[in-house]
Amino acid sequence: MTAKTEALRLTSSLNVLLGFTFLALTNEFGRGTFVVGLLGVTAAWGIDSGRIRFRPAPWVWNALLAIPLTVITVELLVLGQPFLIALGHFFILLQLHLLLQPKSASDHARLQLLSFCFLLLASTLTTTVAFGGIFVLYLLVGTWSLILFHLRREMDRRPAEAVRAPALLTPSFLVVTSSVSLAAFIFTLAFFVVIPRVGAGFFKKRATPAIQVVGFSDRVQLGTMGEILSDSTAVMRIEVEDRAALRTRPLWRGISFENYDGREWSRSQYRGLIPLRQWRGGFPVGSPAPGPTVRQQVWLEPLSTTVLFALPRPVLVQGVPGLYADLGDALHLPFLPQDRLSYVVHSDPSRPSGAQLAADTAPYPPGILDRYLQVPPGEERTAALARSLTEGRPSAYAKVLAIERYLQSRLRYSLKIDRDERYSPVEDFLFVQRRGYCEQFATAMVLMLRAVGIPSRPVSGFLAGEWNEVGGYYLVRQRDAHLWVEVYFPGYGWIPFDPTPRADVEAVPVFTTVMHYLDALRMQWNRYVIHYQLGDQLSLLRTLREMWQEGTRALVLQPRLKVPGLGWPPPLRAPALLIVIALLVAGAVTYRLARRRWPALGPARGQGRTRLEVAFYARMLRLLARRGFRREPHQTPLEFARGVLARSRGAGAEVLRLTGLYYRVRYGGGGLTAAEATEVEQALKRLQVMRA
């Protein structure tokens, strides 16, 4: 086996392994797929090198082809497997079939084609950022494999030159081909950016299973939220355009509840959803904001609820296919999200001051009193505590603050609760345990406020989450799920209050910054690769248009400085010019090295016509091989011609004449005359009909 064949076999094996790695990234195939691929490649190396004796007859290989065909048929028609899964199993078996049999150059091309099919299949089944890293490696190794395959095919066509061909997989080869890979990557990236997104989704499926969240259904039992407060699963990431406008810690509002029966909260009267009408690319919600709004870009993981999350008092929602609202001011999608969802919400950040709330003495609307003063029987001690805390308070706002401060200062936050079933959950929390988490704090405050005639309700949502300073967004996890209180003030509507004291802050992990970088990378991958949409393309085109217009104006104002980067800020002009010059120089050097090292990659000066004309010699070798005259690797063209002459004078004379013309054209730099070209064609026809 020659060094050229070894190089092709090595890169082809790497290509196959990367293909199996793509499938291993998916949940449907898993890591075992990579193990199967690694075992197959290892066995193929042993068979090809002769260390493993495995040489079945050709008919056996043909019979084995029935296995992948049978598997895909049974999976589709009998087992009812999804088409993509059955197709993946078919590709895996077919790849193993090709790996374990003797391989020609064409078989290596088929291996690379199947590896590319693995890439396409995995791209529809996974959204992990690791796919991008493996893709870069695949592009690099794939370029090596294709170039080596091309060189191997050229050497097979011209075996006389194969012995004198330079060694492959040298440092210069790796440098040049890596440059080609980089150029191909840039070219591919340009296509990715400009090709319109149609969003047909024929093969689209849910990339990740829905995350089960608690607290966002019509009925929520007290104590269930504690199950997820130690879960670090990410549920959403939120960019806030103007963080300075947030006067308090952000709360991402979900839904509110109305009725409490002593064990669970319910919102039975809110089952009816009100469809909102779209207007100018968005869904107006509630009353317009009196001042500037806060823009939130939300990337929501697929959750087991239709509820949308945002800062309180939303006024406009964009980027959703439809929107519904309920009587509790919650926003709902028309259906469960099947994939990650990106939407924009504009919220009113204004909040009345304490003095304004204290001065609000307007009467409550009857509907508010009917729905938000309900207290279950058996909570007499809770009501008595509320009256004692608020006695003598001059306003509803003062009563709210008194109860909130009592809960924050006199009770402790804890996830470890030993319930005493002799008491109701709220009484057990206030008078026995005197510790709990957000569900107990919010429920107790609502019941105490209602006991003194103040309409209130619990609200389920999420705390601010973890601020990622690298990506500039809030990372919200399951453990950030939270319950707080909204109190109704006639002049201002529902105002949020949070009676839950801050939990003890855990020590910051050593690798927090590293994790922030990784999560920011994951978010950017989902943002600009997985969910790259037509709107992003239009935004990019607008940016390029603005840069073009700015550069044009700069050229008009400074006509002498016609250099790249002129329309950029002055500090960036010199670096931009240096980058352009460096890219041009690198491209020129790479092209010259490629032409000098591998002429087969592109015709050198004056050689294009010569290479076409000497193709007749390869045709002659193929004709002679069919008649039993095979040229050995160690034979020169002249030695081979003399060997043919010794065995057949008729064929030998033709071969000697064609060999002489081959030498003159190949090494003399001249071309065939019209008469010689005719002579060559006639000689080849005579060889074709001549018997050995």
Residue 28 and residue 125 in contact, taking contact as beta carbons nearer than 8 Å: yes
* C-alpha pair distances (Å), 411 with each of 210, 229, 408, 496: 36, 19, 6, 20
What's the chain's average pLDDT?
80
Tokens of 126: 């996974």
Per-residue confidence at 386, pLDDT binned at 50, 70, 90? very high
Per-residue confidence at 400, pLDDT binned at 50, 70, 90? very high
More confident residue, 529 or 162: 529
Tokens of 308: 């949308």
Closest by Cα among 633, 635, 636, 650 to 692: 650
Gap between the Cα atoms of 555 and 565, Å rounded = 10
Domains of the chain: 3-194 (no CATH), 219-513 (3.10.620.30), 534-597 (no CATH), 608-689 (no CATH)
Query: Any residues with CB less than 8 A from the CB of 599 and at least 6 apart, and which?
Result: 607
Report the Cα 654 to chain-centroid distance in Å: 62
Gap between the Cα atoms of 259 and 371, Å rounded = 8
Digit-coded pLDDT (tens) for 190-238: 666 566 555 544 445 544 577 888 878 888 888 777 777 778 889 999 9
The pLDDT > 70 percentage for the chain reads 78
Tokens of 689: 């009909």
Q: Phi/psi at 295 (nearest 5 deg)?
A: -90, 130
Which range is least confidently modeled, 113-117, 194-198, 409-413?
194-198
Query: Any residues with CB less than 8 A from the CB of 393 and at least 6 apart, and which?
Result: 399, 402
| pLDDT score of 559 | 47
Burial pattern 309-342, b for ≥16 Cβ within 10 A else e, equals: bbbbbbbbbbbbeebbbbbbbbbbbeeebebbbb
**What is the 8-class DSSP label of residue 379?**
-
Q: Which helix (H) or strand (E) holds 114?
A: helix 105-123
Digit-coded pLDDT (tens) for 308-317: 999 999 999 9
Side-chain-facing half-sphere of 479: CA atoms under 13 Å: 9
Detail the DSSP E strand segments found in 348-422: 412-413
Residue 255 and residue 266 in contact, taking contact as beta carbons nearer than 8 Å: no
Residues in the chain: 692
**Span 79-91, mean pLDDT?**
84
The one-letter code for the residue type at 692 is: A
Digit-coded pLDDT (tens) for 243-268: 877 878 899 999 999 999 988 998 86
